[in-house]
Structure 1
Amino acid sequence: MDLSVIVLLSLCGFLRGQETTDPISLDDCCKDGKERGQESQDCTSLPLISESTTCRIAQEQCCTAVLEDNICTSGINVAKDQGSCDALLSSSTCETKTAKTCCECCLLGRAAQERGLSCDLTLAVWYQCGLVSRACCVDRSPNSDGKPAPELPKAQGDAQNTEDQCKAAGCSQSCFNGSCACLEGYKLKADAKTCEDINECLSVTGPCPSGHMCFNTVGSYTCQRHSVTCGRGYHLNADGSRCVDIDECALPTGGHICSYRCHNTPGSFLCTCPATGYTLAPNGRSCQDIDECVTSTHSCSESESCFNIQGGYKCLNFDCPANYRRSGDTRCERLPCNQTSECLALPVRITYYHLTFPTKIPIPTNIFRMGPSNSALGDDIEVAIVDGNQGGYFAAKRVEQGGVLVVQKPIALPQDFEISLEMKLRRFGHLSVYLFKIRLFVTPDELSHISE
């Protein structure tokens, strides 16, 4: 009587090497990055949500855009609320650097508005700074904050202005006692009438403190701290003077950057896999199981069969016991009986199987099914584990037209089992016994649980 056995394990996707995931769109990748940017996460070390390199780029760039926009806005608010960026000098992180740059660019725009200059600055500032400066200039209409209009700088000269003497002088800015004078930040040209801007930045000592750069403006100047731009994988040190390496492996998300081990390198990081059984995936972060049986890198003999498991392989063989003959790669058939009760009580057939699954398998889970290939009215089937169930992790249960082997208790540690499962079939008053020898290999659920 033929039997059919259905191995459920392969259908459940327990072998990581055979797992597949639904493709994720770039919009979803970008959305994830934006959400993490709003949470101020490190955009260079985000948890991996897809094996796709393109998805990782979209995720990181969308995160960076949101993060930098929020940081820049905070700097603009400091400029508007305090009229100074000194509050941003206490820290020199990359975030503070961005906020301070936007703050100072906003102050440039406010200064232009106060002096009645055009909001379209002609300074050679970078594009983003120009946008911030113009926005702060246009946004601040005269006296919009309730404060009195700023006073013009006082004219140079110590004599009282005599209007009658200055009427015909033709001065471009101001006149004192018949002589043309200029406002602060300007000087008279050779014609003694026209005022021209003083470039304070060209003075020998320079008007700005150490570590700052001078930018000349019409009638004045601004000082901007030297900006140190750090490349990917680096950030400013505490005093903002130099770039230091970011230890991505030590970040809160470091445990999720690599699937096994993370090693910090200058400006980056390196993921590694266990010394044997795995290889690094093309994404540079995940570890893939090596199927030694397919690649012929196993050490099994010709009399053994190779069975791949997560992170390794097993060399398997079997011998038929007395009164049995081998019939196929995994089956032993009972020799003809002389009708003695002792012989007839032996299993008609012994079949060998091998399965593998991870430690954190859902409980309960059916991992093996057995039953006759065809059923008949009145069939009576009994199933039982007769050997190998140390620890009581497994149970045999009767189901319609057969039985199943069930994992009924969590298996915390990787280990091997050899379960002997017996099925008795009574049909038309005749008893037939079948024995299933099942080798089970429980592997670590996570690579971090593998020791080297």
Structure 2
Amino acid sequence: HVTPRSIAKLTPDGDLKQDPYPEETQRDGAARGGPCSQRCSVVGGRYSCSCFAGYSLMPDRLSCDDVDECVSGVHSCGVGERCVNTVGSHVCERQLSCSAGYQSRNGVCEDIDECMVRTHNCGAGLVCKNTDGSFVCGPKQKCLTGFKLDSHGNCIDINECSSLSETCSPGFKCINTVGSYTCQRQVIQCSQGYQSGPDGTRCIDVDECLMGTYRCGAGQICHNLPGSYRCDCGAGYQFDTVRKVCNDVNECWRYPGRLCSQTCDNTPGSYQCSCTAGFALAFDGKNCDDLNECDSNPCSQECANIYGSYQCYCRQGFYLKEDGHTCEDIDECSQSIGNMCAFECVNVPGSYQCACPTTGYTMAANRHTCRDIDECTTGAHNCSGEQSCYNIQGSYRCLSFTCPPNYKKASDTRCEKLGCPGNAPECLKLPLRITYYQLNFQTDILTPAQIFRISPSPAYTGDQVSVAVTRGNEEGYFSTRKLNGFTGAVYLQRQVREAKDFLVDVEMKLLRQGSMTSFVARIHVFITASTL
């Protein structure tokens, strides 16, 4: 039993460190991963490498190499034994000794054929013959053509008929002679319909059909038979025993409706299937497949394949013409019932579009009606700062609200009369108040139409009013009517055929408690076109 103890080892920096492993483990440097390939020992703080028996330390003083004992002569093999080196050792094998003329092979002495390996000493003109363990030299003997040397050295005849192949041509027989051979033609008698074969030894059938020596009628087919031939009718023909001819068979009549799915056409010796319009013959040559005419684009727009034909269709906004193939655009603007567009209808391929006047209107969200542009709100007007912008259908007006002499401006649309100096009679007749109004109508307004009402505010019991158009009614478009004791109305009396602007003064006279007072409503009436 060995007690473990610490052993100093040399670190890569040259320092010593304590190794807690036993000394015995230091002897196997390869197992411990040390610098030595086999044994390693530490002496005086440095490691020293050594090798196992049968190995020697290499010049690097670290690795071990095998020692070839057989070459270095340090083996233990005796006389009659052969040294064989092994890794780390050697073995001794017994050496076999053979007599002259023999050689060792796989532990057995075998005869050497000196004639084959050419180790004999036979001179020119002599022939080497191997013997057991030796050889003998004998004289050479030459034989004439057609003879060969036997085992006793004699020249004997060669039977070319049995030793050679294809000595004679087909139809000839080989006969051996001394030193040669001869070919003799074979003669064979064959029956009618047969002939001598190429080898002349047997009779073979004559194929009259192949050689063209047969005699068959029109439409008949030659079939070869042993020693003869036969004439048969081809497929699709029937033999007429009276006339001895082959007649065509009409398969379409014989098998009606069984050969072709649609149309059967008889042909000489056969038949052919065909299909009607809208179908194509299938690969089996009998059935008919529906033809997809739409693949050839026969329609100007949409095509739908149907069994045996096709149908053309048009997209929305088009109609199919009488030719059944071409699609023509529908003019919705000229053919529609009623007004599809508020202002103008513009036909486009397959549909239509609505348009609005170039100025004053914009297209509404429904794409059919036109919406008036309020230039006064959008600021798209050219009114001055002293003018007031008033929007009308499709346009606008710039209005000026000015008060006449002896009036003051009480608001943007109202003028109040000032006092009359000296109670001048003409001044007292002037209206107490002038108020501006704006009205907008279209030319298609139904007439007579009540467009304005006027009354005192506030009104009292006993008030009496009278209403009259005092200015702007030269053409008689307007009229007035008293609705009750304190209310009057203005009417558009007749139709205005075209766009027109009016400035109308409507005077209301109020009789209250015996005193007469007048008021004027100055009305801008704008009549716009009703094309929208």
Q: TM-score, normalization: structure 2?
A: 0.44
Matched to 2:318, the amino acid is Y
Question: Which structure carries more relative contact order (alpha carbon 8 Å, separation 6+)?
Answer: 1
The structure 2 residue matched to 1:340, chosen from 414, 424, 443, is 424
Cα distance between partner residues in 1 of 2:487 and 2:464: 9
Structure with the largest fraction of helix? 1
For residues 353-403 of structure 1, the C-alpha deviation after alignment (integer angstroms, 9 at most, x for no partner) is: 110011121222211111111222332211111111122111111122221
Whether 1:198 and 2:261 are equivalent positions in the alignment is: yes
Whether 1:295 and 2:342 are equivalent positions in the alignment is: no
Q: Does the C-alpha gap of structure 1 residues 205 and 232 become closer, same or farther in structure 2, counting only changes over 3 Å? A: farther
Whether 1:325 and 2:408 are equivalent positions in the alignment is: yes
Task: Indicate the residue corresponding to 1:231 in structure 2.
Answer: 315
Q: Secondary structure at the match of 1:302?
A: coil
For residues 176-202 of structure 1, the C-alpha deviation after alignment (integer angstroms, 9 at most, x for no partner) is: xxxx97552x33xxxxxxxxx72669x
Cα distance between partner residues in 2 of 1:205 and 1:237: 36
Q: Secondary structure at the match of 1:293?
A: helix
Q: Is the 8 A contact 2:443 2:496 kept in 1?
A: yes
Q: Is the 8 A contact 1:214 1:224 kept in 2?
A: no
- In our comparison, the structure showing a higher alpha carbon Rg is 2
Superposition map of 1:159-238 within 5 A: 183-184=256-257, 186-187=258-259, 198=261, 207-209=275-277, 212=278, 224-238=308-322
Cα distance between partner residues in 1 of 2:353 and 2:414: 48
Matched to 1:405, the amino acid is V
Whether 1:403 and 2:498 are equivalent positions in the alignment is: no
For residues 241-279 of structure 1, the C-alpha deviation after alignment (integer angstroms, 9 at most, x for no partner) is: 2222222222143x6222222222222222211000111
Task: Indicate the residue corresponding to 1:316 in structure 2.
Answer: 399
1:231 is displaced (CA, Å) by 1.4
Cα distance between partner residues in 1 of 2:273 and 2:324: 24
Task: Indicate the residue corresponding to 1:283 in structure 2.
Answer: 366
Gap regions ≥5 residues in structure 1: 1-179, 188-196, 448-452
Task: Indicate the residue corresponding to 1:433 in structure 2.
Answer: 518
Q: Is the 8 A contact 1:215 1:224 kept in 2?
A: no
Structure with the largest fraction of strand? 2
Q: Secondary structure at the match of 1:392?
A: coil
Cα distance between partner residues in 1 of 2:407 and 2:281: 97
Cα distance between partner residues in 2 of 1:215 and 1:420: 93
Cα distance between partner residues in 1 of 2:263 and 2:398: 83
Q: Does the C-alpha gap of structure 1 residues 398 and 242 become closer, same or farther in structure 2, counting only changes over 3 Å? A: same
Gap regions ≥5 residues in structure 2: 1-252, 265-270, 291-305
Q: Secondary structure at the match of 1:446?
A: coil
Cα distance between partner residues in 1 of 2:375 and 2:465: 39
Q: Does the C-alpha gap of structure 1 residues 268 and 230 become closer, same or farther in structure 2, counting only changes over 3 Å? A: same
Q: Which moved more, 1:224-233 or 1:381-390?
A: 224-233
Cα distance between partner residues in 1 of 2:272 and 2:525: 83
Cα distance between partner residues in 1 of 2:366 and 2:446: 29
Superposition map of 1:27-176 within 5 A: none
CA RMSD of aligned residues (A): 3.3
1:215 is displaced (CA, Å) by 11
Q: Secondary structure at the match of 2:504?
A: strand
Whether 1:374 and 2:453 are equivalent positions in the alignment is: no
